[in-house]
Amino acid sequence: MADILSLVFRTYMHKKALKEAGSGVVVPASTVLVGEQSISRSVLMLAAVTAASHMGMRVMFFTHTRIQSLPPSLQRCVPNLSPESLKKIQFSYPRTVEELLQQVASLHESTNTSPAPPSLIIVDRLECFLRSHSRFPQGEQSCAAHVCALLCDAAAFFSQKLESQGSSSGPCRLITSFLPEAHAEKAEGGPSATDPVLDVLDRYFEVRCTLDPDRGYGATAAGAAELWSVYLSGRGLAKDRVGVTQEWQLFVFPDALMEFKLV
């Protein structure tokens, strides 16, 4: 069974491209999404809705900024989203990394009252939480390691519960988005360097999914407003030796419709 981002890519591919894609790419259970907030949140929301509506998963969505309404891209891609599907997504709004740690650590308590454990945990804009730390004197790297370790521990716990319940939606997946300072500087034409915090995240997350804006003429030629190159890398891809695709394109059209294409 394809994992969440793989399902997102294939679900929202152009129909002609889907026929040519074959089995496509399988993204493993833990992924860090690296890219600008506007596009990364749209992909995270699309992943949450796809998991809830297509796979019946319960989703925990942690975000620093309150979501007042569904992004236009999501409304355009999933116009007939049922209220029942949205009920499977639980949003939580911790303000600091301490609150995030506390809420993740107490997730297991909700399984005593909820019908099923979460099968997908999403953390939006992890860098906002890491930069709010106050009790990690070693800095953001230490804070990142602590958060990632707790997230992985929670996912492992829920994976065991899902397996013991005979659920078909296990194991529990992890997806987070992160915008390193070097990535932001590169987008603005400034210097680019390896972010030490991103190196920490790569130790915990099996796949890195990088979203880079394509400033060529591809978007105009396709009638799109934006074009993003989607690069997959990481040790998780080595598990799938046959049929692995490591590069996609994401088109965002003027009406907010999003489409993925294999490269």
Q: Are 177 and 42 in contact (CB under 8 A)?
A: no
pLDDT at 150: 96
Mean model confidence pLDDT for the chain: 81
Closest by CA to 232, choosing from 244, 220, 214, is 244
Q: What's the pLDDT band for 83 if we cut at 50, 70, 90?
A: confident
**Interval 89-97 mean pLDDT:** 94
* Tokens at 187, concatenated: 């987008």
Could you give the percent of the chain with pLDDT greater than 90?
40
The CATH superfamily assigned to 4-262 is P-loop containing nucleotide triphosphate hydrolases (3.40.50.300)
Check pLDDT > 90 for residue 29: no
**Res. 136: pLDDT tops 90:** no
- Angle between helix 4-11 and 37-55 (nearest 10): 90
Per-position b or e across 214-242, b if 16+ CB within 10 A of its CB: eeeeebeeeebebbbbbebebebbeeeee
pLDDT at 134: 65
Among 46-50, 135-139, 231-235, which is the least confidently predicted range? 135-139
Look at residue 67 and tell me whether its pLDDT is greater than 90. Answer: no
For position 140, what pLDDT does the model report? 84
Q: Count how many Cα atoms sit within 13 Å of the Cα of residue 82 in the half-sphere of its side chain.
A: 7
Grouping H, G, I as helix, E, B as strand and the rest as coil, residue 237 is helix
Largest CA distance in the chain: 53
- Does 28 have pLDDT greater than 90? no
Q: What pLDDT, on a 0 to 100 scale, did the predictor assign at position 239?
A: 53
Q: What is the pTM of this model?
A: 0.86
Least confident of 10-14, 69-73, 252-256: 10-14
